[in-house]
Amino acid sequence: MKILGIDPGIGRLGWGIVSHDKGVDSYIDSGCFETQANSDLPERLLKIHDFIQNLINLHTPDALAVESLFFEKNVKTAIDVAAARGVILLVGQQSGLAISQYTPLQVKSSLTGYGQAEKSQVEFMVGKILHLKEKIKPDDAADAVAIALTHAFRVR
């Protein structure tokens, strides 16, 4: 099974793809997609839509794992990220992917066994689980891979 993990954002969206086959998890690819801060929200959402659709077409994942929104102090940012999440979920649904959503607590617990783990601990476990020689960069991409791994652990 190929899993596309998404760390949603309006300005910067992390993505990561892992393979889960017979209990073995393997890293495939990851990165970040950015939109221009001075662009209108509808334009940014369309770019996110097109990027996610192209990513799905290129990698043909079986499942989509998306991080759930956590409380954001900046209400405008939270609303814009929620809009981006909606677009991501829509593209996944239109593409026929199995969709799951995970909270940051679930991701941290799944990878480290501790829901209050530091970001560095999660990144360490991602590298250890996937036998990576180098740390995944940037952080948004590493978070997306962690989200994809969380889904892999949940379907075992």
Active site positions, annotated: 7, 67, 140
Q: CB-based burial of residue 5 (10 Å sphere; 0-12 exposed, 13-18 middle, 19+ buried)? A: buried
CB contact at 8 A, 7 and 82: no
Q: End-to-end CA distance of the chain: give it in Å, rounded.
A: 11
Q: CB-based burial of residue 131 (10 Å sphere; 0-12 exposed, 13-18 middle, 19+ buried)? A: exposed
From residue 48, give the alpha-carbon distance in Å to each of 6, 10, 75, 90, 99: 12, 8, 20, 11, 17
62 belongs to an annotated ligand binding site: no
118 belongs to an annotated ligand binding site: no
Q: Which two tokens stand for residue 144?
A: 């997306």
Q: CB-based burial of residue 156 (10 Å sphere; 0-12 exposed, 13-18 middle, 19+ buried)? A: exposed
Residue ranges for the binding site? 7, 67, 140
Residue ranges for the binding site for Mg(2+)? 7, 67, 140
